[in-house]
Amino acid sequence: MNFSARGAIVSIVSACAVAGIHGGIDSAPAAANPVGQPLSCVPAIGTSQLIPPLPGLFLPLPSIRGMSEFDDLAPAPADLTFPPSIDFRDNTQGFNSYVEVVLQRGSLFVRPRNSNATWRRVNTPDCLDGNIVATSVDSNMLVAVDRNGWIYSLDNLLSGPLLWNWTHSYGGPIWLWPGSTIPQDAAAAPTSNKWALSHRMSSSFVDAEGNTHPLTAGLVQIVSLTGDGSRITYQDPWLPADLSYEIGGPQQGRFISESLSTSGSMTVVMNRYGDMYTRKYDLDFAGANHIPGRYTWLPQGAKPEGPSQLAERVDTQYAAISLPAEDWQQQPKVPGEITSRLSIHDTGPAVEDRELTVEGRENGRTGYWHKDVRAQAWQFTATDRPLEQPLLTGNSSVDQSRSALAPESQLSYRGALPAGWTLSLDNFDWAQTKHQATVTAPTGRTYPVELYTADELRLLPRGPGLDDTPRGLEGALDLRGAQPWLDGNAELDDLIKTQFGGQQIFEVKVEATTSQLVISPGGITLQRV
């Protein structure tokens, strides 16, 4: 969740301090890691958190002594071998603009980015050091995971090591939840490129309608593939630690991803045939976080960009964030051999400034393919280092994005609209942003329309997916696809004028369960069929 516009946090922080919450890395002997809780020597509030309990509220902090702070870290053991360059952000290595990190023998080692400096061990709580099985780095933060999947955050990573700060807190409210784990599927194979950390610190992004919006602070989320690879969860440290939030996947959630990477709220997924999609998506972009963001599902015409995120939020003369959120963008296929090892990293101040990297081979030489996310052509850089993953046997230049798809959702709903009309949704996947729907006239004629939805902001935990407990969604019913303005569609035009206030896009709220969808205003109830 975005750290900006959080005036209420000051009183919460003060209350935490009065209650005696304090920092410090426990120097007690290492203890066994209980499956049901994070390691006790990693603190809830770390020594370098200037404003507990919020890691990295002011981003980034200036280093105290600059690069010389690395000299205070212990050198890596002489028998360890490190790669000559760090080209990927995956679960064994990573980088930001300041530092590069490698995981070896359960410990983290660092050096300044793009340097030939000595690799040095990261100061890590005793019980965690040597027991890290996977890691992910993005922007100002690093996440380490132990063998039971518990998440440990190291923040201030754009500052010198003197300000690096460990904490095991993760999850709502505002980082105060006493620890969280990556999904079980990712924890079972922690280095299989099925989860990654995203820390957005961009200055702007462009919405689906082409409006540019200023951004003022960071957003953290861990994105993971679950199940057969068609479900994508995201965990935000401001949200309940319940794995209930998802990014609806490509191909209406049926695309089965082999690997995933994410950086600054842009996620890339790839299937076993080498087909790739990217999407800008987080809680703020989706449309559910009304604290820092002002959204609209309706056309707003040409409006200027706000001078700041706060000005845009409070002043309606500036363009709101247009919804639904931008959909997945299919990327050109790599014109050569590749593995499933891929990553994405930032190259500039905007969310759209991202580069893709895919491990592979060209003309017998190993290395990596790379391109700007907006470019059409891939380039190859040879490293002649052994491939970390096997080559994809099914990869080719042919578009296979619809090959071997997951089954469609089995949830379909029907219900009555006013004046004898009905509304139906087939194969409804709640995590998708757009849902194909049909309105049927009393005459029996059908009209294709769309329902847009975004998961609501929740403070309390709930189960994943749909169940008997209503899941709140915000959205809109878009009737424009049925072209009510055409002469032959007068009955639909009359329905819009008499029942929807003349609005071809009608903003709604949806309460969704496995048995019904309740749409308001209007009290429309669709029953599962």
Kindly report, residue by residue over 388-441, the tens digit of the pLDDT. Answer: 999 998 878 899 999 999 999 999 999 999 999 999 999 999 999 999 999 999
| 3-class secondary-structure state, position 251 | helix
pLDDT at position 53, please? 67
pLDDT at position 370, please? 98
Could you tell me the residue ranges of all domains in the chain?
A: 1-176, 187-382, 413-528
Q: Using CB atoms within 10 Å of the CB of residue 451, give its burial: 0 to 12 exposed, 13 to 18 middle, 19+ buried.
A: buried
pTM above 0.85, yes or no: yes
| 3-class secondary-structure state, position 181 | strand
Q: How confident is the model at residue 50 (pLDDT cuts 50, 70, 90)?
A: low
Q: Give the mean model confidence (pLDDT) for residues 378-390.
A: 97
CA count, 13 A, side-chain hemisphere, 364: 0
- The residue ranking higher by pLDDT, 179 or 45, is 179
* 234 contacts 222 by C-beta, under 8 angstroms: yes
* 110 contacts 99 by C-beta, under 8 angstroms: yes
* 80 contacts 121 by C-beta, under 8 angstroms: no
Please give the mean pLDDT across all residues of the chain. Answer: 91
Does 26 have pLDDT greater than 80?
no
pLDDT at position 80, please? 98
pLDDT tens-digit map of 140-171: 999 999 999 999 999 999 999 999 999 999 99
Nearest to 239 by CA among 433, 42, 455, 60: 455
DSSP conformational letter for 457: P
**Dist CA 29 CA 40 (whole Å):** 10
Q: Give the mean model confidence (pLDDT) for residues 499-510.
A: 94
Q: What percentage of the chain exceeds 70 in pLDDT?
A: 92
Q: How confident is the model at residue 56 (pLDDT cuts 50, 70, 90)?
A: low
Find the range with the poorest average confidence among 54-58, 312-316, 352-356: 54-58
**Dist CA 164 CA 123 (whole Å):** 9
